[in-house]
Structure formats: C-alpha cells, structure tokens
C-alpha cells in the first residue's frame, strides 16, 4: 500500500455475446490501461469472458472451451502487468458448470471463486445452467494444466491488505458472503455483477452497496455488465462503483456506449482504524476455515491520489444544510435544556465578545429558551470590554444581544485588571502572557460571580478547535458550567452561524454577517493605530481550516503525521504551499500534546459529531505524553 491506499478499478469492457476472443481482447485493453494508471486490483463484470446473457449456450462445449482458451490468453498477458485482475467466466468442474471469478496476477491464476446465490426469477434462470458453491466440496480444480484453489472461502492478501469476492446476487441476499469475508480479514470486497436496469433499481443498487460497505467497514468495488450484453428482454447500462465505508468515491456513467474504467483509491488504513475502534467488530471464531492466497504488492513510488478529499471534513454538504444544521442545534439545545432544567437555574450567563464562538453559544441559549417556553430575558449576555476590544466587536456584541431580546449587561474589565496588575506588581506596559491571561480570568470571574448572584449557569463559548490547540486561558475562558460549543470545531461554528443568520430578521442577519467577516481574535492586546484588531489568532496558531483537517484525521482515525501531511497536501493543493501545510501541522502536533492538561479538566458539554475531546469518554490521554513528530 501507499500511505494506506490501494488503487482499484471497476472495468466495464466492450463485449460481444459468446465471442470469447473478442471479449478477451477488450478485457486486455482495459487491463493495459489500468496498468498505465498504476491500478493494483482491477475487477471485470460477471461472466465477462463469455457475456452474461449466453443462456443455453452455456451448455455448449464450444463456448466452455473458448472461455478456457481466452483465459489462457489473458493469463499470458498478465506476465507483463503487475495488477491483480479479476474476471468472470463459466467453468466446467466435475460434470457441473459454475459461474466463477478468476483471480490472476503475474502470469498465474491465483484462485477461483464460484458464485453462491443463484437467481431463479422471471428475469434470470441461473439455476438452469449453474451450480451454487454450496453444492460442491471441491477445493481445487485443474485449469489449463494447473491445480488452482477453488471455493468461496478464499481471501487474497499481500500481508498488509486483503480482499475477497462475491458475485452479483450474493450481495442481494439477507446475509451476503461478504459479511463473513470481512470477519475473516478482507478489507475490500470485489463484486462481479450483471445487473440489468429497471426504473428505480439503480438508486436502490447504490444504496445497497453503500450500506453493505458501511456495515462491513470495508471497501466495495462493483463492476457490472454494459451495453454489449444481449437486449432480448432486458437492458444493461454498465455500472462501475467504488465505495469506501458507506461512501461512493467514484462511479461510472450509465448507458455509455464505449468501455469505461473507473479508477480510485480505497484507504485501507482508514478502514482498519475504524475496525479496531469498533468493539463489536471482531474476527469470526466459527468453525468456518478460510484459505489465504498470496498476492504480490504492486507498490508505485510516484503514487498520487486520484480522489480528492474535502478540505472541511467536519462541515456537512450544502445539499443537506438545513437538515444538518437543525440537527446540530438540536443536539446542543438538548444538552443545554437537560442541564438547565436539572439544575433549576434561574438564568443563563454568557460572555458576548462579538466573535463567532460566543455568537453561536448565545444563539443556542436563545433557541433553548424558546424550546422550553422560557422568557429570553432569563439569558444575560454580558459584554466585557478590555484593552483590546475594538468598536466593531463591541458594537456587534451589544447589537446582537439587543436584537435577540436577551438581558444586556456591560462591565468593563479595565480598572479591575489595572488593580490586579498593581497587586501582583506587573508592568501594564508589558503585553505578555500575564497581561493577556489577567483579562481572560477577570472576565471568567465576572461571569461566575454574576451566575452566583442570579442562581444561574455560566455557558461556555470555547469550541472544539480551541480545545485541540489549547487556545484558551486555563481557568479563564477555559472554564464554564456547561460548554455548549465543546463538540463543535471552528469551521463548523462558522457554517452554523452563517446558516442561523439566514433564519433571522434583516437586522440580526446583518449583525451576524459582520461577525462572520471579523477576524478571529481573543482581543487581549491593544488595537492597532486604526483601532482595528491587532491580535489575529490565525496569524499566531495557523489557519483553523488546516487545524480542523489535522484534528479530524488525527483523532478520528489515528493517522500518522506523515499520512495526515499527505492527505492535507492533496486536499489543499493550490490553496497553501506544501511548506505552509507542514509548518502548521508541526504546530498542531506540538500544541495538541502540550495542552492536554486543559482538556483533562474541561467542563461538561454535548458531543455533536464523530469527534470529541472530553476526558470522560472520547479522548483519554496522559498530559505528559511525548508529542509525535513529523519526519523530515
């Protein structure tokens, strides 16, 4: 594998029914094309050497002989290729005919897998011609003078990744063979198929493949017959589909009257990471014995991914934006509503800075109050201008609080901080970490004491990205009584606030849009000469979209720094220079490890997505672990 990826292909060749010479020529053309594309495993459709629609011609000795001759020709052709090729054909074994998948590599036939479930309905009468794998005890067959492993119990492996095979109808039954294959170590399932087209069937097929891939935590490569098949009664459109753990990463076009080769990569390392984290995913301990067939690793040094990765893995697609945003808000609201009612708090206290995070927290509070039927005045939004507060953020904070109809409180922290500087003998002209953290802790003290005064709860505003980087003052903005944003990364915060702005009146919309346009900043250092924000977070720790990308793959899958760098270069190609991506990845690793102590005592808060950093559940890590490094 290359960085955990295996390049696979689903091939839909040109075909003539019962013309094995023609068919093997077209198969070989796609095999050579796949070789040029550095494909490691290529799958052809069911009975691709003869055609699926031969019907009673399968009983003809000539066709069975021609299929073997064509297979021999293909076997010879694979001497000059490195890819593993999987082709379909009829095979005569001990007086029975089997619908089989033949696996070849480097001039050798590695194994033959017979079909298990044979359709016998109005469209297909396979039981008329073929025998199921369950009706034979044959373990090896003689093919073109070679003794070859034969059976549905074959898994092909290079010692790092493994694959197994099922054929068409096998997928459509209640318990597909692939469900057993993956429990015996198969990472990818290849399906040789001949699925005809009917109204609505294509969408159902895609859903079926996605579901089986997700259920098995596997890659799934599906190659189905195309336009060359007989159209006597049904029509074949040609389906090449490559799926990874429930998500289609590449697919062919339907009804294309020419050969198609669908090529992409499957991240086997990602699949294996998910499996080891799933306590219900375990190797089958039944008496069923599998045989493991050795394949050679086709390792390409100049490997470059064909598939592209989303730059914002936490952000849902725009097509489902309304449903996703409503669901995320509902999770945050559900968590806060339970805590509010359980504590019988008389108010919620939120520090409003005019920035993204506090805006989202206030919106959650307002929506929760509305859901519970509480007066919005039970929410106190406190703006606490300090030495770095700009007119822009101050005005946005005040305007937002007023527009949402919550209680407004303004308390300047300047004099309190100046008194504290005098108490600890700190020179206020020295703008160091003490200068900054004094302000953050003074704000937290105000919020906590105001909550005590009102029998209320302090609602935290810090987000998941800040927790990952430790971008919070310990026992300052790090602390609250319930942290509604703790499961929401910065890229998703922006997405949610933008969506929420479109659900409000024009005035509130304009305020939120300006908040979105404001640079992310804690505003703990004085403004510049123009009165604008001088302290910009992303200038100091790096772009949040990069850090969220690193966080996702580091925590969700446990990828190595080198693998994350590889993916980031793919995703952000043309947006950031490679050196910039590497620089901020090093910062992420250093900060993530060094700041664990803040996460070890973080407040309660709702988990929203697949990643959370709560020490009580999703992320448990010693605070003094040695940081991973990025190899140069």
Catalytic site positions: 46, 115, 168
CB atoms within 10 A of CB 499: 18
Q: At what angle do helices 561-571 and 578-594 cross, to 10 degrees?
A: 140
DSSP of 272-309, one letter per residue?
HHHHHH-TT-----SS---EEEE------TT---SS--
Q: Position of tokens 């606030």?
A: 497
Cα-based angle 469, 472, 473 (whole degrees, multiple of 5): 140
Could you give phi then psi for residue 587, rounded to 5 degrees? -65, -45
Render the burial of 144-155: b for 16+ CB within 10 Å, e for the rest.
eeeebbbbbbbb
Q: Structure tokens of 566? A: 């590889």
Is 228 within 8 Å of 12 (Cβ atoms)?
Answer: no
Q: How far apart are CA 152 and CA 293, in angstroms?
A: 12
Strand order across the 5-12 sheet? 108-114, 96-105, 84-93, 41-43, 5-12, 260-267
| SS3 call for 36 | helix
Q: How far apart are CA 253 and CA 259, in angstroms?
A: 11
Could you give phi then psi for residue 593, rounded to 5 degrees? -75, -45
DSSP state of 240: E
| SS3 call for 33 | helix
Cα-based angle 457, 459, 464 (whole degrees, multiple of 5): 150
C-alpha R_g of the chain: 31
State the distance between the two ends of the chain, measured CA to CA, in whole angstroms: 21
Taking CA atoms, 428 is separated from 414, 419, 425, 440, in Å, by 11, 10, 9, 15
Is 264 within 8 Å of 306 (Cβ atoms)?
Answer: yes
| SS3 call for 100 | strand
Pick left, alpha or beta for residue 470 (phi over 0 → left; psi -120 to 50 → alpha; otherwise beta): left
Pick left, alpha or beta for residue 90 (phi over 0 → left; psi -120 to 50 → alpha; otherwise beta): beta
Is 24 within 8 Å of 46 (Cβ atoms)?
Answer: no
């Amino acid at each position: 594998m290359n960085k955990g990826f295996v390049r696979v292909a689903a091939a839909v060749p040109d075909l003539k029914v019962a013309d094995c010479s023609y068919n093997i020529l077209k198969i070989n053309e796609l095999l050579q094309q796949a070789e040029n594309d550095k494909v490691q495993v290529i799958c052809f459709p069911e009975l691709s050497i003869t055609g699926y629609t031969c019907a009673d011609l399968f009983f003809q000795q000539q066709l069975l002989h021609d299929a073997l001759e064509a297979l021999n020709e293909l076997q010879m052709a694979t001497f000059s290729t490195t890819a593993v090729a999987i082709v379909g054909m009829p095979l005569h074994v001990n007086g029975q005919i089997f619908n089989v998948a033949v696996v070849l590599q480097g001039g050798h036939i590695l194994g033959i897998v017979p079909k298990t479930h044979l359709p016998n309905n109005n469209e297909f009468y396979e039981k008329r011609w073929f025998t199921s794998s369950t009706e034979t005890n044959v373990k090896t067959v003689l093919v073109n003078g070679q003794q070859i492993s034969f059976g549905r119990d074959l898994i092909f492996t290079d010692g790092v990744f493994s694959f197994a095979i099922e054929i068409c109808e096998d997928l459509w039954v209640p318990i597909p063979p692939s469900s057993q294959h993956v429990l015996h170590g198969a990472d990818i399932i290849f399906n040789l198929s001949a699925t005809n087209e009917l109204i609505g069937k294509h969408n159902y097929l895609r859903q079926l493949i996605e579901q089986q891939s997700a259920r098995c935590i596997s890659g799934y490569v599906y190659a189905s017959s195309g336009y060359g098949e007989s159209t006597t009664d049904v029509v074949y459109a040609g389906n090449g589909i490559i799926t990874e753990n429930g998500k289609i990463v590449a697919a062919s076009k339907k009804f294309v009257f020419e050969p198609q080769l669908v090529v992409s990569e499957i991240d086997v390392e990602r699949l294996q990471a998910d499996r080891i984290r799933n306590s219900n995913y375990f190797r089958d301990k039944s008496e069923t014995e599998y045989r493991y067939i050795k394949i050679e690793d086709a390792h390409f040094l100049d490997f470059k991914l064909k598939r592209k990765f989303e730059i914002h893995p936490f952000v849902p697609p725009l097509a489902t934006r309304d449903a996703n945003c409503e669901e995320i808000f509902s999770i945050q609201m559900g968590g806060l509503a339970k805590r509010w009612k359980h504590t019988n708090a008389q108010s919620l206290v939120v520090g409003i800075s005019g920035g993204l995070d506090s805006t989202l927290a206030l919106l959650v509070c307002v929506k929760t109050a509305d859901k519970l039927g509480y007066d919005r005045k039970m929410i106190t939004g406190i703006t606490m201008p300090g030495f770095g507060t700009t007119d822009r953020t101050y005005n946005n904070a005040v305007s937002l609080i007023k527009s949402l109809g919550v209680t407004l409180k303004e308390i300047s922290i300047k004099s309190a901080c100046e008194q504290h500087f005098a108490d600890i003998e700190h020179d206020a002209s020295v703008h160091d970490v003490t200068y900054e953290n004094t302000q953050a802790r003074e704000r937290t003290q105000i919020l906590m004491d105001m909550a005590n005064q009102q029998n209320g709860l302090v609602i935290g505003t810090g987000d998941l990205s800040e927790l990952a980087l430790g971008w919070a003052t310990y026992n300052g903005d790090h602390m609250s009584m319930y942290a509604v944003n703790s499961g929401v990364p910065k890229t998703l915060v922006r997405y949610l606030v933008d969506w929420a702005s479109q659900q409000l009146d024009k005035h509130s919309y304009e305020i939120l849009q300006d908040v979105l346009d404001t640079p992310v900043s804690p505003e703990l250092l004085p403004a510049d000469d123009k009165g604008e924000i001088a302290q910009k977070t992303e200038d100091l720790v790096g772009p949040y979209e990069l850090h969220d990308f690193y966080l996702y793959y580091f925590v969700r899958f446990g990828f190595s720094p080198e693998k994350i760098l590889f993916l980031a270069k793919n995703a952000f190609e043309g947006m950031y220079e490679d050196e910039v991506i590497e620089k901020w990845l090093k910062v992420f690793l250093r900060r993530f490890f060094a700041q664990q102590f803040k996460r070890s005592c973080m407040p309660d808060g709702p988990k929203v997505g697949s990643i959370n950093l709560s020490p009580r559940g999703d992320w448990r890590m010693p605070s003094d672990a040695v940081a991973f490094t990025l190899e140069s």
